[in-house]
A = this chain, B = another copy of it.
């Protein structure tokens, strides 16, 4: 903490990825931001490959990833693996701890991961005292479901080519909202095996599909970075509809109710 920094209040910090993401949904007050800062006080660093959570085991903590990539995955008993979703900066891990006795999937760090963690109980606290944050948190989890639902559609009905294009677009947009994708490119810290396991393909086929996308000029790869030179073109080949990312504020009706809450009103 830099005591000499010119801040309007001691509590104000530059927004982290979580704050950036939540503010797509609703603006945060200083009080809310400082609660979030407090939730994120305890931090951990994980090396690549570390399991943040394992299928079948109880969930001890809720985590918020602040840097790096992780994956939620299911491992079948014969070794086949399916990645359900990427966990990017600003994403939660283990919010289910409140409701589920055991986890039904594992979460593993793909890169070095920096994360914050806190006791599940604090979410109950948050629901009682910060209803707007509670709404924002629910928005996160519901959005996560939408992303997974779109993945079902992708794997079930799109060709490998379309599917991969769609994934890159999803990642671009998700990373943009947490300011991790400047312009038309982003760092893609994954092996082809990881891509295969998200997309439900074999490694070899991922390699060839990647090459085809490159040859068609739809993507450029260069040392762990991917560039999407023509967004519209890629969206067309993926049949990309951004509905599922819900990158907008809540419906007016709800916005009004949330404003009321902001002004200290308590629901009767």
Contact = CB atoms under 8 A, between A and B. Distances in A.
Given A125-B267, A152-B148, A101 B134 contact: no
Interface in A148-207: 148-153, 155-158, 197, 199-200
A152 B77 contact: no
Copies of this protein chain in the complex? 2
Interface stretch (A12-20, A29-37, A214-222, A251-259): A251-259
Interface of A: 25, 55-56, 58, 72, 74, 76-78, 80-82, 84-85, 95-105, 120-121, 124-125, 127-129, 131, 134-135, 138-139, 141-142, 144-146, 148-153, 155-158, 197, 199-200, 239, 241, 243-244, 246, 248-251, 253-254, 257, 266-268
Given A99-B250, A158-B76, A249-B101, A148 B148 contact: yes
Given A121-B253, A153-B76, A55 B148 contact: no
Nearest to A144: B145
B82 A152 contact: yes
A84 B103 CA distance: 22
A120 B256 CA distance: 13
10 contacts: A55-B243, A74-B152, A98-B251, A99-B138, A104-B150, A104-B243, A128-B266, A128-B267, A128-B268, A152-B155
